[in-house]
């Protein structure tokens, strides 16, 4: 058993010692002396509680650790410990109960690691031959074994068997290169590991190792040469399975790449959606269309809105998982948020002949929230109600304030939710597995996004249902609500001044021409340019009152065009609006620069957003404009 004793004595990076059943220190290795500052003569015969802070000793926590170890076989924790000089260090501690063949407790093996510097070293204890063997066998989270000077395996603990899959009989007497991949053996890595340990006095590395069944795992390896009287006696080796950590790192990397892909995909999808949205808006402005045209137009509009929401959901999925969603709370008129949200879902409710009831106090409701994100929450809940409420059903939105908290409920008499599905309804990509037959199209992102946004506002959200066919109620609460209708007031708009109309700049001709046609139908004087150079020529010829400027153009992008326009005479008076396929929260450094723009629109451009923007721009309409 000398191998076990030598192994334990040589380990200096771990404190390993033995306690008798009462917690009295009976052995003390070099690592313990180095870690705690005590010599063996100072601690042997002392109760191990001397290593604990005063509060832990006062609570008799050391004795509780021994009781737990006796009851369950092993106790592990992390916490503060005290050195001889009174300084503290953060330690990982493992206490293993040691029993004789009859099952009687004969003592405890204790291993302490100093995690203050995040160093993980070999653990062992000094004790009699039998106790050393029991201690090493009790360590199961690390493979701890001895090699002779040539790398032949001399000992094998239960942790090694658990991690590598070999029994002691399988490996003792064989060269440890059997744990390396064939290509690593061919490259001489086992011999290099032994050489580096001898040269440096210790070596630590990470790499792939092979189990008995041929599977590989990512291992952290610490190897320490053992010298007796100046003669190399062998090597102590400690191996830890780090596969799960590597897997998590790879998952994080994959998640980042997926988020970047989703952002680019959403951008590319928005580009073709922009001219389609413009074309629909043109048809909506066309006077007295035929019934067939009107029906087809409205159908395209509904499906286009649905597709746009799916694109936004794709982007929000990446934002959720990467924590990129941000809110900008401000004093917000909740009544206006409700009006916008209901109006967005009105076509869908009308298409299904839903009866909608809005139950709100007569006074204005103000709440400290991000108006855009709050509208997103409401639209997700109302959209969910529409989706799962059959033709002719009823939907109700109720809002009340109590104790400065806004409580909102969206209820319906739709298909309802089974109890099992309620537990997962707010999880990402959940589509209501409890109601598989009633699933509708979607990505299962809306409710998860709603929960995240509500919680980011400091609120709570929940769902209830009487079961299948009994409808459902989704409710959320937000803090910082008031009935004070005078909390904010809008400033007056300035008078329209003279201007040179609107200049639309986009390298996508369909997008530029269709947006220009909408502006003409709205009564504005419009010019178009299909690249940066043409835009500058148009501005030099006549300074526009407003510019709708695409961000992502080749050769000369939108920010570059704007900078050049600002340098031209009268260019600093132009109202410049960026038009982009990227969402504001997904711009990467260097991808786009929105400095200097007065406003921003996202493709596909919404008609009402365009109306509001141009009213602010002071671009003059032509006589007879809408």
Phi, psi of 278 (to 5 degrees): -65, -40
- At 267 the pLDDT is 60
Q: Determine the Cα–Cα distance for residues 89 and 72; give it in Å rounded to an integer.
A: 27
* Helices 2-10 and 129-138: angle between axes, nearest 10 degrees: 70
pLDDT over 80 (residue 417): yes
Task: Judge whether 47 and 23 are in contact, CB under 8 Å.
Answer: yes
Say what the pLDDT of residue 626 is: 42
Closest by Cα among 509, 505, 514 to 536: 505
Domain ranges of the chain: 2-138, 158-227+237-241, 330-482, 502-617
Tell whether the model's pLDDT for residue 126 goes beyond 50: no
Q: Is the pLDDT of residue 501 over 50?
A: yes
Q: Which CATH architecture has domain 330-482?
A: 2-Layer Sandwich (3.30)
Q: What is the pLDDT of residue 607?
A: 80
Query: Confidence class of residue 523 from pLDDT cuts 50, 70 and 90?
Result: confident
Res 153: pLDDT? 93
CA distances from 91 to 40, 43, 78, 261, 598 (A): 20, 18, 5, 42, 56
Higher per-residue pLDDT: 342 or 395:
395
From 384, 382, 463, select the one nearest 422 (Cα to Cα): 463
What region does 322 belong to: left with phi over 0, alpha with psi -120 to 50, or beta?
A: alpha
Specify the CATH number of the domain 502-617: 3.40.50.2300
pLDDT at 49 exceeding the cut of 70 = yes
Tokens of 51: 């290593």
**pLDDT, average across residues 419-434:** 67
**Strand 216-228 and strand 231-241: pairing?**
antiparallel
Q: How far is CA 312 from the centre of its chain?
A: 18
2-138 placed in CATH 3.30.450.20: yes
Sheet with 88-99: strands ordered across: 14-19, 105-114, 88-99, 74-82
The answer to whether 2-138 and 158-227+237-241 have equal CATH topology is: yes
Q: Using 50, 70 and 90 to split pLDDT, how confident is the model at 96?
A: very high
Q: What is the mean pLDDT of residues 54-81?
A: 92
Q: What's the pLDDT tens digit per position in 168-217?
A: 889 999 999 999 999 999 999 999 999 999 888 888 888 889 999 888 88
DSSP class per residue in 333-384: EHHHHHHHHHHHHHHHHHHTT-EEEEE--SS--EEEE-HHHHHHHHHHHHHH
Taking 90 as the threshold, does the pLDDT of residue 440 lie above it? no
Kindly list the strands in the beta sheet with 203-210, ordered across the sheet, starting from the edge strand earlier in the chain: 143-147, 231-241, 216-228, 203-210
**Structure confidence at residue 580 (pLDDT):** 84
Express each pLDDT in 347-384 by its tens digit: 888 888 999 999 988 888 999 998 888 988 998 899 88
Inform me whether the pLDDT recorded for 113 exceeds 90.
no
Q: What is the pTM of this model?
A: 0.38
Q: Is the pLDDT of residue 256 over 90?
A: no
Rounded distance, CA 532 to CA 507, Å? Answer: 9
pLDDT tens column, 581-613: 766 555 443 455 778 888 888 888 888 888 888
User: Domain 158-227+237-241, what architecture?
Assistant: 2-Layer Sandwich (3.30)
Q: What angle do CA 219, 221, 227 make, to 5 degrees?
A: 160
- Say what percent of the chain tops pLDDT 90: 31
Residue 398's pLDDT band, with cuts at 50, 70 and 90, is very high
Q: For residues 210 and 176, give the distance between their C-alpha atoms in angstroms, rounded to a whole number.
A: 11
Cis amide leading into 604 (omega within 30):
yes
pLDDT in tens, 10-40: 677 788 899 999 999 998 888 889 889 999 8
The CA-based diameter of the chain, rounded to the nearest angstrom, is 105
The torsion defined by the Cα of 438, 443, 446 and 451, in degrees rounded to 10, comes to 100
**Residue 135 pLDDT greater than 60, yes or no:** no
Residue 427 phi, psi dihedral angles, 5° rounding: -80, 150
**What are the tens digits of pLDDT across the range 260-281?**
666 666 666 666 777 777 887 8
Share of the chain above pLDDT 70, in %: 79
pLDDT of residue 228: 82
When mean pLDDT is compared over 286-300, 397-411, 475-489, 586-600, the highest value belongs to: 397-411
Name the strand (E) or helix (H) holding 43: helix 40-43
Mode of pairing for the β-strands spanning 203-210 and 143-147: unpaired
Write out the E strands in 185-339.
203-210, 216-228, 231-241, 330-333
| Encoded tokens for 448 | 């998860």
Residue 620 above 90 pLDDT? no
Distances in whole angstroms, Cα of residue 236 to Cα of each of 11, 119, 369: 8, 17, 61
Confidence of residue 146 (pLDDT cuts 50, 70, 90): confident
Per-residue pLDDT tens over the stretch 320-351: 655 666 778 888 889 888 988 888 788 888 88
State the pLDDT at residue 287: 76
Q: Round the average pLDDT of the chain to a whole number and report it.
A: 80
| Rg of the Cα atoms in the chain | 36
The length of the chain is: 626
Residues 468-500 as b/e (b if ≥16 CB within 10 A, e otherwise) read eeebbbbbbbbebbbeeeeeeeeeeeeeeeebb
- The more confident residue out of 134 and 106 is 106
More confident residue, 4 or 436: 4
């Amino acid at each position: 058993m000398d191998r076990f004793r030598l192994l334990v004595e040589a380990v200096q990076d771990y404190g390993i010692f033995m306690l008798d059943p009462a917690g009295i220190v009976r052995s003390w290795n070099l690592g313990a002396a180095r870690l705690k500052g005590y010599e063996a003569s100072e601690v042997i015969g002392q109760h191990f509680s001397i290593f604990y802070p005063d509060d832990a000793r006062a609570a008799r926590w050391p004795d509780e650790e021994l009781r737990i170890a006796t009851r369950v076989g092993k106790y592990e924790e992390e916490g503060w410990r005290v050195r001889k000089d009174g300084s503290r260090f953060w330690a990982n501690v493992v206490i293993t109960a040691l029993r004789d063949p009859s099952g009687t407790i004969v003592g405890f093996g204790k291993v302490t690691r100093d995690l203050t510097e995040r160093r993980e070293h070999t653990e062992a204890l000094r004790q009699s031959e039998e106790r050393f063997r029991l201690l090493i066998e009790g360590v199961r989270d690390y493979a701890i074994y001895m090699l002779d000077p040539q790398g032949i395996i001399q000992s094998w603990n239960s942790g090694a068997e658990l991690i590598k899959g070999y029994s002691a009989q399988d490996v003792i007497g064989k060269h440890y290169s059997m744990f390396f991949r064939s290509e690593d053996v061919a490259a001489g890595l086992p011999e290099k590991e032994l050489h580096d340990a001898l040269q440096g006095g210790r070596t630590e590395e990470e790499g792939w190792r092979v189990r008995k069944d041929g599977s590989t795992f990512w291992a952290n390896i610490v190897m320490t040469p053992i010298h007796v009287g100046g003669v190399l006696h062998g090597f102590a080796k400690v191996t830890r399975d780090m596969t799960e950590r590597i897997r998590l790192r790879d998952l994080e990397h994959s998640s980042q790449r997926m988020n970047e892909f989703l952002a680019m995909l959403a951008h590319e999808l928005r580009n073709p959606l922009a001219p389609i949205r413009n074309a629909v808006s043109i048809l909506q402005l066309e006077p007295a269309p035929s019934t067939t045209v009107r029906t087809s137009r409205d159908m395209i509009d509904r499906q286009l809105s649905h597709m746009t929401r799916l694109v936004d959901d794709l982007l929000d999925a990446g934002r959720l998982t990467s924590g990129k969603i941000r809110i900008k709370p401000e004093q917000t008129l909740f009544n206006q948020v409700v009006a916008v949200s209901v109006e967005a879902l009105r076509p869908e409710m009308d298409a299904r002949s839903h009866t909608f009831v809005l139950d709100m106090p007569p006074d204005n409701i103000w709440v400290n929230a991000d108006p855009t994100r709050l509208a997103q929450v409401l639209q997700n809940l109302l959209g969910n109600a529409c989706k799962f409420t059959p033709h002719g059903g009823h939907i109700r939105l109720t809002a009340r304030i109590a104790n400065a908290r806004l409580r909102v409920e969206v209820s319906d008499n739709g298909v309802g939710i089974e109890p099992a599905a309620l537990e997962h309804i707010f999880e990402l990509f959940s589509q209501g597995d409890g109601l598989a037959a009633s699933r509708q199209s979607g990505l299962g992102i809306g409710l998860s996004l709603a929960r995240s946004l509500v919680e980011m506002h400091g609120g709570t959200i929940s769902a209830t249902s009487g079961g299948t066919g009994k409808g459902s109620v989704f409710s959320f609460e937000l803090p910082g609500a008031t009935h004070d209708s005078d909390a904010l007031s809008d400033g007056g708009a300035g008078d329209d001044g003279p201007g040179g109309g609107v200049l639309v700049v986009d390298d996508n001709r369909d997008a530029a021409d269709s947006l220009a046609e909408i502006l003409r139908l709205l009564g504005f004087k419009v010019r178009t340019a299909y690249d940066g150079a043409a835009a500058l020529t148009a501005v030099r010829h006549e300074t526009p009152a407003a510019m709708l400027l695409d961000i992502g153009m080749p050769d000369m992008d939108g920010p570059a065009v704007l900078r050049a326009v600002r340098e031209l005479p009268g260019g600093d008076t132009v109202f410049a609006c960026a038009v982009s396929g990227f969402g504001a929260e997904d711009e990467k450094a260097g991808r786009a620069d929105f400095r200097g723009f007065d406003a921003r629109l996202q493709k596909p451009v919404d008609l009402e957003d365009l109306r509001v923007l141009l009213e602010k721009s002071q671009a003059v309409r032509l006589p007879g404009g809408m």
